[in-house]
Amino acid sequence: MSGGRGTAGKARPGAGKARPAVRHRSGTPARPVRKSPGGWRISRGRLLVLVAAFAGLAVLLTLVALLFSAPAQPPAELLTGDDISLQMKLVRRLSRELFSERPVEYSAIEFSGSEVESLLRLGDFASQVAVNSGRYRGLPLRCYELDCDLESGRVAGVLPLDTGWRWLFGGVIRVEVSGIFEKEDDLIDIDVNSLRIGRLPAPAWLGEWIAGRLLEQWRRRRSFADFNQAVRELRIEPGKLVLVYRPAALSRLLR
């Protein structure tokens, strides 16, 4: 009896320990407790938002890649003997008109296709000298890629807009435009045929609107007043470029 009373007051081994959550027979591994899948489930609304965000980011990156490009400067073309001959011819002509006993108020001259190409090379050379000397902060003429089709009367060119954001695929937006440009007295007619901004085509009416706004800004500058006084008419006829100018004002413009 005393042995029974002695064991009644003692705690049983393991009585104070918590029982395992999963009971298993001896020799068999315990099954893992599975978590409820509710914590990992994404609602359909959130999934649609994520898909829309990734799609919008992809469209934005594609648009930026189509608009921007790396800055490019075509190599300068060397002046040819024909270019130098044309330059000397124009200098002699302008000198005669300025220092003659009876100076003319207006003078007209016609340029062939090859002479127009010579004028573009001479203009690029002069603009490069001005850039190197610090008198001009813009780009040389060749960067605008001017092209004159004397048969159709179409003038094409590129306006490189440098934003300075080199991390945006180079940061330069190339605006390619082609159309008909004519000047008569104070009237300037710009008829845009095609427009491309970066690699994206744009409607021609947008090009005419942009050209109109740029022309309004140019009219407020002194450079336009000098150009307007020097050049009375500028037009393209089949196979030639016609220029009507004031010799005295043109000589001041070319200084």
In the structure encoding, which two tokens stand for residue 161, read together? Answer: 């807009």
- Rg from Cα positions in the chain: 39
Tens digits of residue pLDDT in 6-38: 444 555 555 555 555 455 555 555 555 455 454
- C-beta separation of 183 from 235 below 8 A: yes
End-to-end CA distance of the chain: 133
pLDDT at residue 23, rounded to an integer? 52
pLDDT at residue 30, rounded to an integer? 54
pLDDT at residue 17, rounded to an integer? 53
pLDDT at residue 89, rounded to an integer? 96
Tell me the residue length of the chain. Answer: 255
pLDDT at residue 29, rounded to an integer? 56
Domain ranges of the chain: 81-253
pLDDT at residue 47, rounded to an integer? 83
Question: What does the alpha-carbon distance between residue 250 and residue 227 come to, in Å, rounded to a whole number?
Answer: 8
The residues of the chain scoring below 50 in pLDDT are 1-8, 21, 33, 36, 38-39
Question: What does the alpha-carbon distance between residue 174 and residue 181 come to, in Å, rounded to a whole number?
Answer: 20
Question: What does the alpha-carbon distance between residue 231 and residue 188 come to, in Å, rounded to a whole number?
Answer: 11
